[in-house]
């Protein structure tokens, strides 16, 4: 079984994003960038399937600026076999990303594509579902358990009311949720080894995908700031405040 | 102009978040129709017909739609979209699962989790865990949008008298099937629509402590119980308790954060609450920067005392 894992280079989750003064976007100059955390979970899941003898090849793919190569190297150091970098000047929107990924899938014919459920920069939560639509494949989104078996894969999903398990025919799309696994850190020897693993470089044009934006971003602003309130000295004062506000009699 | 809303429901009851999408649709102007796709879901279609402002309910009742499988729902919705300019759904797990699949089939760049509709036809949506609000304008002919449940008021559940029209689609795609579900039944209010939420974090240390410390306070206040990611990951409470950027978005009248540090991912899910109370033993915890009332204390002493005195 072959697994494709799309990984996005995003602002590190520990960094507090700052909006640019000219309202054109979020300031990413000199900001720490990392692999989208949900994509680390996706890479980890693929590696575990390989370690369990259920998969034999893992290909990581990233769409973005040249530096997304670092993100691919992270995936390779974790244990993926090779990478594909699709260099695009501006970050394409989810639909265009899905269209490029659909072409990669056509070329690579994986049995599973495991994506993150959401990129923590755009918070779109779209690409996996869109890719599934373009390929006409089934989708197991927000996965907390993935069990492949014989032309099928069972996926347990985190849904609003709790958990739900679906059976999907393969090939299939899976998107990861936080409880699927805990991603490993790459060891130093594996980081060294990853430098020799192959990365193929492409452009959206190679795949014939138009990446023109459909959404015009008119402005990006900071949300209204919440004023910090007061520190109350004791429980009695807190009780008084709660009653004053009418939350308890 | 007209809008189709994909209703969220469990075949018995309409999810309240659907009413929020109706308000957003009304703001867009034009006719508002609601699609109820389910199995044995007549009661939901009837409820949808009573929502104030809804002109028509499309009802697709088929075993294929009983579990809201995206593979079956998306072609049904797409097939109906010829008559509409907008497709809306609440940003629930079903809406998030199904709408991008429809949007891609329509070759449309969907807009996720809008929080405002502007007069010039643009939309506001939070990005970067709510640290940036983007205003976007779509050039697509038809627009596909999910609506954040806390961003608009709920439409009146009563007062409408829409007609209900049966519709059908291709049914079962044969690509996916439902196996099982673990849906917790709770006497407490539902997290995303509760007026008061009491949330616990890693500091609770165990599921038993959630039961002993968080739940009695929640019960006293008639509140829903929420949690930080750390508390969910550690298995103290189920996944559907998680409040935050990648969990549930809540904006109750009162949010009480207990033993939660206030990471940006958690704040993203609760900082629009009307009043915020934080109880944390670390006076430098970031949660205090958004709290109206902060109590620097050991939760194991302070919370039982608070419950007792209320
Ligand atoms: C991709 C991604 C998505 C995420 N999504 C979410 C999300 O949706 N929601 C979310 O919540 N988090 C999310 N997180 C995690 C987030 O970054 C934090 O790790 C998490 O919120 C921390 O949970 P916590 O506050 O319970 O734990 P901690 O940060 O460990 O805080 C525990 C707090 O308890 C206090 N404390 C300890 N003992 C006591 C005591 N006896 N009495 C009083 N106070 C005490 C401490 O002072 C501390 O402030 C996400 C992270 C990533 C990477
Ligand atoms: N530029 C990209 N390159 C590679 N994968 C991506 C890219 N954008 C999104 N993805 C994948 O799609 C998932 C969901 O992203 P989104 O729909 O943008 O929130 C991510 O977790 C990635 O797995």
| B289: closest chain A residue by CA | A228
The tens digit of pLDDT for each residue in B209-266 reads 999 999 999 999 999 999 999 999 999 999 999 999 999 999 999 999 999 999 999 9
- Alpha-carbon span B106 to B260, nearest angstrom: 42
Measure in Å the smallest separation between the Cα of B287 and chain A Cα atoms.
9
User: Ligand 2 centroid to A97 CA: how many Å?
Assistant: 7
pLDDT digits (tens, 9 = 90+) for B103-148: 999 999 999 999 999 999 999 999 999 999 999 999 999 999 999 9
Terminal Cα-to-Cα distance of chain A (whole angstroms) = 62
* Of residues B112, B177, B293, nearest to A238 (C-beta): B293
pLDDT band for position B269 (cuts 50, 70, 90): very high
All domains in chain A, ordered by first residue = 2-245 (3.40.50.620)
Both tokens of B106, joined, read 């329509």
Does residue B295 sit at the A interface (CB-CB below 8 Å)? yes
Q: The tokens of B57 are what?
A: 């309910």
Instruction: Name the closest ligand to CA A97.
Output: 2
CA distances from A62 to A80, A91, A133 (A): 13, 11, 20
- The verdict on B101 touching A (C-beta cutoff 8 Å) is yes
In this prediction, residue B186 carries a pLDDT of 86
Q: DSSP label at B210?
A: I
Q: How far is A57 from chain B (nearest CA, A)?
A: 24
Chain A CB contacts of B113 under 8 Å are: 123
> What is the chain B residue with the closest CA to A136?
B71
Q: Which residues sit with their C-beta closer than 6 Å to ligand 2? A: A 6-8, 36, 38-39, 42, 62-64, 94, 97, 115-116, 118-119, 122, 124-128
Q: Which residues contact B166 (CB under 8 A, 6 or more apart)?
A: B59, B60, B61
Cα–Cα dist A176/A128, whole Å: 10
**What DSSP letter does each residue of A72-98 carry, written as one string?**
HHHHHHHT--EEEEEE-SSPPPHHHHH
pLDDT of A227 reads 84
Q: The whole model's pTM is what?
A: 0.97
Per the CB < 8 A criterion, the answer to whether A172 and A147 are in contact is no
Q: What is the pLDDT of residue A228?
A: 81
**Beta-bridge partners for B200:** B227, B258
Question: Comparing C-alpha atoms, which of A96, A95, A129, A131 is closest to residue B89?
Answer: A129
pLDDT band at B185 (very low <50, low <70, confident <90, very high): confident
| Tokens describing residue B252 | 């109750």
Q: What is the pLDDT along chain A (249 residues), one digit of tens a residue?
A: 999 999 999 999 999 999 999 999 999 999 999 999 999 999 999 999 999 999 999 999 999 999 999 999 999 999 999 999 999 989 999 999 999 999 999 999 999 999 999 999 999 999 999 999 999 999 999 999 999 988 999 999 999 999 999 999 999 999 999 999 999 999 999 999 999 999 999 999 999 999 999 999 999 999 998 888 999 999 999 999 999 999 988
**A145 forms bridges with which residues in the sheet?**
A156
Which pair of tokens denotes residue B194? 């509760």
CA of A201 to the centre of ligand 2 (A): 18
- pLDDT recorded at residue A30: 93
Mean pLDDT score of chain B: 97
Residue B184 confidence (pLDDT): 83
Predicted confidence at residue A17, as pLDDT, reads: 96
User: How many Å lie between the centroid of ligand 1 and the Cα of residue B211?
Assistant: 19
CA A21 to each of CA A25, A33, A202, B125, B130: distance values in angstroms, whole numbers, following the listed order: 9, 21, 34, 18, 17
pLDDT of residue A114: 98
Q: Which of B16, B97, B120, B232 to mutate to test the interface with A (most CBs of A within 10 A)?
A: B97
Q: Is A131 on the interface with B (CB under 8 A)?
A: yes
Residue B58's pLDDT is what? 98
- Which tens digits make up the pLDDT trace of B275-309? 999 999 999 999 999 999 999 999 999 999 999 99
Domains of chain B and CATH, by start? 2-166 (3.40.50.620), 191-309 (3.40.50.1220)
With left for phi above 0 and alpha for psi between -120 and 50, is residue B288 left, alpha or beta?
A: alpha
| pLDDT of the residue at B141 | 96
Q: Is B127 on the interface with A (CB under 8 A)?
A: yes
């Amino acid at each position: 079984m072959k697994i494709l894992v799309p990984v996005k280079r995003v602002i590190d989750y520990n960094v507090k994003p700052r909006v640019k003064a000219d309202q054109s976007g979020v300031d990413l100059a000199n900001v720490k960038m990392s692999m989208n955390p949900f994509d680390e979970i996706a890479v980890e899941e693929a590696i575990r399937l390989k370690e369990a003898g259920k998969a034999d090849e893992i290909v990581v793919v990233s769409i973005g600026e040249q530096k997304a190569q670092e993100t691919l190297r992270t995936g390779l150091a974790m244990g993926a076999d090779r990478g594909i970098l699709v260099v695009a000047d501006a970050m394409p929107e989810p639909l265009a990303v899905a269209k490029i990924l659909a072409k990669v899938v056509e070329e690579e014919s994986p049995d599973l594509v495991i994506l993150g459920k959401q990129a923590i920069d755009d918070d779109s939560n779209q690409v996996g579902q869109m890719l599934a639509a373009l390929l006409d494949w089934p989708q197991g989104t927000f996965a907390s358990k993935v069990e492949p078996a014989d032309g099928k894969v069972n996926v347990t999903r985190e849904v609003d009311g709790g958990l739900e398990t679906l059976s999907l025919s393969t090939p299939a799309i899976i998107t990861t949720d936080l409880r699927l696994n805990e991603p490993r850190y790459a060891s130093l020897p594996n980081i060294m080894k990853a430098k020799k693993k192959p990365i193929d470089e492409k452009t959206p044009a190679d795949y014939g995908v138009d990446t023109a934006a459909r959404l015009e971003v008119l402005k990006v602003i900071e949300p209204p700031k919440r004023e910090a309130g007061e520190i109350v000295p004791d429980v009695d004062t807190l009780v008084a405040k709660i009653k004053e506000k009418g939350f308890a009699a | 102009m007209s809008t189709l809303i994909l209703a969220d429901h469990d075949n018995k009851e309409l999810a309240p978040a659907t009413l929020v999408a109706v308000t957003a649709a009304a703001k867009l102007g034009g006719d508002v129709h609601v699609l109820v796709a389910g199995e044995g879901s007549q009661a939901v279609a009837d409820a949808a017909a009573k929502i104030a402002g809804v002109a028509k309910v499309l009802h697709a009742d088929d075993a294929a739609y009983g579990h809201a499988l995206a593979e079956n729902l998306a072609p049904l919705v797409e097939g109906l979209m010829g008559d509409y300019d907008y497709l809306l759904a609440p940003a629930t797990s079903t809406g998030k699962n199904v709408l991008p699949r429809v949007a891609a089939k329509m070759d449309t760049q969907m807009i996720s989790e809008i929080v405002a509709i502007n007069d010039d036809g643009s939309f506001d949506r939070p990005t970067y865990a709510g640290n940036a609000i983007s205003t976007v304008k779509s050039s697509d002919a038809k627009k596909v949008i999910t609506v954040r449940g806390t961003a608009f008021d709920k439409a009146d559940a009563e007062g409408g008298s829409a007609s209900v029209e049966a519709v059908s689609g291709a049914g079962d795609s044969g690509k996916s099937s439902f196996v099982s579900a673990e849906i917790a039944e709770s006497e407490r209010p539902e997290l995303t629509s509760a007026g008061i939420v009491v949330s616990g974090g890693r500091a609770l240390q165990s599921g038993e402590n959630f039961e002993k410390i968080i739940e009695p306070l929640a019960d006293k206040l008639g509140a829903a119980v929420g949690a930080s990611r750390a508390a969910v990951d550690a298995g103290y409470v189920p996944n559907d308790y998680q409040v935050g950027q990648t969990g549930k978005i809540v904006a109750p009248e009162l949010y009480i954060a207990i033993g939660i540090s206030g990471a940006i991912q958690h704040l993203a899910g609760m900082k629009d609450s009307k009043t915020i109370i934080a109880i944390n033993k670390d006076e430098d915890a970031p949660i205090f920067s958004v709290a109206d009332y902060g109590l620097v204390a050991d939760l194991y002493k302070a919370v039982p005392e608070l419950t007792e005195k209320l």
